[in-house]
Structure 1
Amino acid sequence: MKYRNLGSTGLVVSEIGLGAEWLERRSKEEVQEIIDLAESCGITILDCWMSEPNVRTNIGAAIAGRRDHWIIQGHMGSTWQNGQYVRSRDMEKVREAFSDLLARLQTEYIDLGMIHYVDEIADYRSIMEGEFIEYARELKKTGIIRHLGMSTHNPAVAKLAALSGEIEVILFSINPAFDLLPATEDINTYFAETYDDSLGGIAPEREELYRICEQRGVALTVMKGYGGGRLFSQETSPFGVALTPVQCIHYALTRPAVASIMVGCTTPDEVKAAAAYETATEEEKDYATVLAHAPHHAYFGQCTYCGHCAPCPSGIDVAMVNKLYDLAVMQDHVPASLRAHYRDLSATADDCIACGGCEKRCPFGVPVTELMKKAAVLFGHAEDSN
């Protein structure tokens, strides 16, 4: 296992981390097996955003007696209410949930205290100007959290966090489908192994974010590196070709400022598949050639989340709705986290007025209006089932 500096925190972490979200589906014994294997592979960083009590307890039991081995990303604002996950800014509930996290993980401190899931600028400003940040500062002052971070899917929010001078680590969604604009030139030249040459095809706001983070010593840890598994199938990949776990990991780890990719693992085999990156050949890591030879029509009809569809007269973040929809349909059921992400959007697919302006601006011929109808049905059913 290779290790990287975690920005300017002074911490060093394994470049492959364990994203613990899917451990909610596993028994205590299975959680123990996966965490033991991850540790034996040299993995040292673990992200626990989940509020569900059993998974927190199971993780705590699995790392008992070995707490010092692990650098834990623990989230503030992820709460458990009436038997389900709820992102909250209610400070009484935030405090209660974070105390519960400490107790169930059997620890007196969290290495990286992450302000949980901040995707809207208004939410960011409310947090950074109000009681929430004061609570986080107090936790840091007393040593209950050692470093302050934030999780977001929005590069605009991530940029504000990186420039704040206070946020030290950002948990951010990174993979080729989320990053790339349409390839109109040879993308082998885009992805040379230097940062100056490697970012030509990435959305400008994401390119800017990566550079700011690198310049300021703000670490990026990566979520959704596999795109919910969508990138592993030729049929569901927006490129029309399948990538491997090793290629997705390599993509994330070649972005500026990235310290570690949090790989979600539900089985020992998935841990091994991620750890195989450390012994992979350069040919096995090479995503650039695969993408460069993707079918020319790979993008047509499929949302690549580029944002050309904006602005929407109803205020819908079309790219985000499509991203959440794509991630949801890859699962047997809609995960609670995706339901919450969708529910917390300022405007959802239900607000679509079918004006068609987004479809005229889309460079890939995506049937946006139809996708909004599908998203409204999918997430509406998911909410009704609760």
Structure 2
Amino acid sequence: MQYVSLGSTGLTVSRLGFGGIPIQRIDQPGTRALLQAASAAGVNYIDTARAYTVSEEWIGQALQEAGLRDKFILATKCRAVTKADMEKELATSLKNLRTDHIELYQFHNPSLDALKTILAPGGAMEALLEAKAAGVVGHIGITAHLAAVFEAALDVPEIETVMFPYNIVEQQGAELIRRCAELGKGFIDMKPLAGGAIEDGHLALRYVLSNPGVTVAIPGMAEIEELNANVKGAENTAPLTADEQAACQKVRDALGTQFCRRCNYCAPCTVGIQIPSVFLFQGYLNRYGLQNWGRERYATLQTKASACIGCGACEPRCPYNLPIREMMKKAAQDFGE
């Protein structure tokens, strides 16, 4: 296992981390066994979130029962934007994770407007800065799905890490990843397998970790077999060979007509559909094996896929020429609304 510094935090992390989303589909004993195996394999970074239902609780219980808390750097996140709400969410995370400190606490996918609230007086940043001063939180980060939020976060000195999607087919953050490294901020790569869309996990991790700007990749794992495959994929971080580059292009060609990169260039939708969010939640439904959670998150959308009027205004804006109208029909069928 290769280890690197997480930006300027002073933390040393394994380049392969443990993504905690899929824990929702197993059980607590399975979580304990998985984390024991991860530790034995040299993985020392765990990512979870308040929004991942039982994930924080089962991870906390597993680490306590197995005596592994000190073996891992814990990273979690929440969607609070005000100081008061962040204080409550942080307290819940500490209780769930059965710990008195969390090495990295992150703002969970805020919009640009939400980020402004977070940074304003009385915003969530105040709570995390106070928690950091008290030693309850070690470092502060942010996660994002939109490049504009990623870019804005680079100008916030208090934000020490950024998490963003990056993989063989999602390249919208490539230049920002380079800038992130230049600024001394750690870059955490979410969805290195594109939410399960890339079947060759070994190639996917080879691609991601061959980029020196990527500090740690956090593929979601629910089985020992997935962990072992990911560990093997993370062994070699050398530049890609010509054959591997050709294989990556084949993956792009295969997914290019059906895969949303969440760049948001399709916006605004005529009727207000959050197009990238629909496809993101559809991925949880169909590829992650998280049907209930995917449906729950889809239910939070004010305007569902079925509201699409087929005007086609979004499609010329898509840099990947996706057939958004047809994809939206499929999403409406999958979710039943």
1:262 correspondence with 2:253: no
Structure-2 residue corresponding to 1:72: 74
* C-alpha distance in structure 1 between counterparts of 2:124 and 2:133, whole Å: 14
Q: 2:104 aligns with which of 93, 112, 115?
A: 112
Q: 1:222 aligns with which of 168, 172, 189?
A: 189
Whether the aligned pair in 2 keeps the contact of 1:217 and 1:257 (CA below 8 Å) is: no
% identical equivalent positions? 28
Deviation at 1:69, TM superposition (A): 1.6
Amino acid at match of 2:153: A
1:1-80 equivalence runs, <5 A: 1-51=1-51, 54-64=54-64, 65-77=67-79
SS state of the match for residue 72, structure 1?
strand
Deviation at 1:9, TM superposition (A): 0.7
SS state of the match for residue 139, structure 2?
strand
CA RMSD, Structure 1 to Structure 2 (Å) = 3.1
CA separation of 1:365 and 1:172: change in aligned 2, threshold 3 A: closer
Deviation at 1:323, TM superposition (A): 4.0
* C-alpha distance in structure 1 between counterparts of 2:22 and 2:253, whole Å: 35
Deviation at 1:311, TM superposition (A): 5.0
1:288 correspondence with 2:245: yes
Whether the aligned pair in 2 keeps the contact of 1:247 and 1:284 (CA below 8 Å) is: no
Question: How far does the alpha carbon of each residue in 1:192-239 deviate from its partner, in whole angstroms, 9 at most, with x for none?
Answer: xxxxxxxxxxx4xx233112201101111111111221111xxxxxxx
Structure-1 residue corresponding to 2:136: 144
Structure-2 residue corresponding to 1:373: 329
Q: 1:213 aligns with which of 154, 161, 180?
A: 180
Amino acid at match of 1:322: F
CA separation of 1:338 and 1:143: change in aligned 2, threshold 3 A: farther
Whether the aligned pair in 1 keeps the contact of 2:284 and 2:294 (CA below 8 Å) is: no
Structure-2 residue corresponding to 1:167: 159
Question: How far does the alpha carbon of each residue in 1:21-52 deviate from its partner, in whole angstroms, 9 at most, with x for none?
Answer: 21222232211111011001111100121456
Structure-1 residue corresponding to 2:125: 133
Whether the aligned pair in 2 keeps the contact of 1:210 and 1:256 (CA below 8 Å) is: no
Structure-2 residue corresponding to 1:325: 282
Deviation at 1:332, TM superposition (A): 4.4
More displaced, 273-282 or 31-40? 273-282
Deviation at 1:72, TM superposition (A): 0.6
| Count of matched residue pairs | 333
SS state of the match for residue 164, structure 2?
strand
Whether the aligned pair in 2 keeps the contact of 1:301 and 1:364 (CA below 8 Å) is: no
CA separation of 1:296 and 1:336: change in aligned 2, threshold 3 A: closer
SS state of the match for residue 219, structure 2?
strand
Deviation at 1:371, TM superposition (A): 2.3
Whether the aligned pair in 2 keeps the contact of 1:246 and 1:280 (CA below 8 Å) is: no
Structure-2 residue corresponding to 1:358: 314
Structure-1 residue corresponding to 2:233: 277
- TM-score normalised by L of structure 1: 0.75
* C-alpha distance in structure 1 between counterparts of 2:188 and 2:324, whole Å: 31
Deviation at 1:126, TM superposition (A): 1.4
* C-alpha distance in structure 2 between counterparts of 1:218 and 1:283, whole Å: 22
SS state of the match for residue 250, structure 1?
helix
More displaced, 325-334 or 270-279? 325-334
Whether the aligned pair in 1 keeps the contact of 2:308 and 2:325 (CA below 8 Å) is: yes
* C-alpha distance in structure 2 between counterparts of 1:153 and 1:167, whole Å: 16
SS state of the match for residue 100, structure 2?
coil
